[in-house]
Amino acid sequence: MKSIVIGGHEIKPGTAQQIDMPMVRLYTDTDISMPIHVIRAKKEGPTVFVSAAVHGDEINGIEIIRRLIQLKSFRLTSGTLILVPIVNIYGVLNQSRYMPDRRDLNRSFPGSSKGSLAGRVADKFLSEIVQHCEYGIDLHTGAIHRSNLPQIRADLNCSETKELAEVFGVPVLLNANLRDGSLRQSAVESETKILLYEAGQALRFDELSIRAGLRGILQVLCHLGMAKRKGTKPKSQPFIANASSWVRASTSGIVTNLKNLGDHVEKGDALAKIGSPFGEVFETLAASRAGIIIGKQNIPLVQEGDAMFHVAFFSEEETDIVDNIQTMSESLLPDSIQDHSSEHIAKTL
């Protein structure tokens, strides 16, 4: 294995190194660095990156990577693992989805070394991190006041990417088109196979989402031969959604939710009631077709046109998907939500 160079630091096989890669300075003349943790085995193997907080308010992924780094039972047996817990340093500092130049970093790839602030960060991440990698896992959450059921979004028309998505082990896989300017699009164009993990909500830690994400990363690394499996592979079969849509409010008001994340709904099922401050019901929001709720708005106040429920559509028996969601919850949170031990997740592999 050859040495690799990231941010001017040479990392040799069989070593682990933490790097602070310099980024664009603040106007206060304060240096800003992107934290990177690199683990290299002595044995040849794939190079994989795991990234979080491309959107600065999506912090679940930061905790997933923190737990992976601190996991005592984890040992890389081959290849290279590049962990980037905070890509959008500026957004995290401001608890904001966006960059200081008001751009969405995940719509600024591939960027340019002479472009906008967002473009320069995107360019540096691609040239310093993604260029080394055959595979990547990008960790996300729902936007502010929205929660996502643990799910993988990827190009499932690619057989290898689909296999990795299935190995990750969450109940729902969404065959998602590439978005212009996204990290996923640029990674694919660089021939890097990439999974996008969506779970939880912005500015909050969600224990189930964190545990599912950590277990999924470990399962992918085991599948690639980069780590040894500690136990039996989860038996639940993920289900593929080839389409999804948001149900939107047709009026403004105060919301009473009738359905939750992971619920199966039939066409015409009541999802929520929207009413006045005096209790009058203006509208009962209904599902437009059968599916599983994979995302929802949390704030109980809506304006006309607000997206409220994200429903995924499947060709399989949807009651089986609900059973798998329940199985995932029971296996990852078997006793108490206070048990945050990463070693428990490792034992579920």
CA-nearest of 144, 182, 172 to 307 is 144
286 forms beta bridges with: 270
Report how far residue 232's alpha carbon sits from residue 238's, in angstroms, rounded to the nearest whole number. 16
Residue 349: the pLDDT is 55
Pair 85, 65: CB distance under 8 Å:
yes
Report how far residue 15's alpha carbon sits from residue 12's, in angstroms, rounded to the nearest whole number. 6
Other beta carbons within 10 Å of 61: 29
List of residues 6+ apart from 144 with CB closer than 8 A? 57, 97, 201, 202, 203
Residue 14: the pLDDT is 97
CA-nearest of 126, 193, 183 to 155 is 193
Residue 87: the pLDDT is 98
The pTM of this model reads: 0.94
Average pLDDT, the chain: 93
Query: What is the mean predicted confidence (pLDDT) over 311-337?
Result: 81
Structure tokens at 48: 């994989």
Query: What is the mean predicted confidence (pLDDT) over 218-234?
Result: 84
The reply to whether 240-321 shares the fold of 4-223 is: no
Query: What is the mean predicted confidence (pLDDT) over 56-66?
Result: 98
For the chain, the domains span 4-223, 240-321
Other beta carbons within 10 Å of 222: 17
Hey, is 243 helix, strand or coil?
Answer: strand
Helix 159-168 to helix 207-223 angle (10° resolution) is 130
Residue 84: the pLDDT is 98
Q: What percent of the chain has pLDDT over 90?
A: 85
Q: Which CATH number fits domain 240-321: 1.10.645.10, 3.40.50.300, 3.40.50.880, 2.40.50.100?
A: 2.40.50.100
- CATH 3.40.190.10 describes domain 4-223: no
Residue 321: the pLDDT is 82
pLDDT at 77 over 70: yes
Report how far residue 150's alpha carbon sits from residue 148's, in angstroms, rounded to the nearest whole number. 6
What's the pLDDT tens digit per position in 142-176?
Answer: 999 999 999 999 999 999 999 999 999 999 999 99
Of 44-48, 274-278, 328-332, which range is least confident?
328-332
Dihedral sign, CA of 112, 118, 122, 127? positive
Report how far residue 91's alpha carbon sits from residue 93's, in angstroms, rounded to the nearest whole number. 5
Query: What is the mean predicted confidence (pLDDT) over 200-209?
Result: 97
Of 63-77, 118-132, 263-277, 328-342, which range is least confident?
328-342
Residue 127: the pLDDT is 97
Residue 338: the pLDDT is 47
Query: What is the mean predicted confidence (pLDDT) over 100-128?
Result: 97
Report how far residue 23's alpha carbon sits from residue 33's, in angstroms, rounded to the nearest whole number. 5
Helix (H) or strand (E) holding 164: helix 159-168
Token pair 């704030």 in the structure block, residue: 299
Q: Give one DSSP letter per residue of 172-197, joined into a string.
A: EEEE-PPPTT-HHHHHHHTT-EEEEE
pLDDT at 318 over 90: no
The C-alpha angle 310, 177, 270, rounded to 5 degrees, equals 15
Q: How confident is the model at residue 233 (pLDDT cuts 50, 70, 90)?
A: low
What's the pLDDT tens digit per position in 172-193?
Answer: 999 998 999 999 999 999 999 9
Helix 207-223 to helix 60-70 angle (10° resolution) is 50
CA-nearest of 195, 220, 79, 197 to 148 is 197
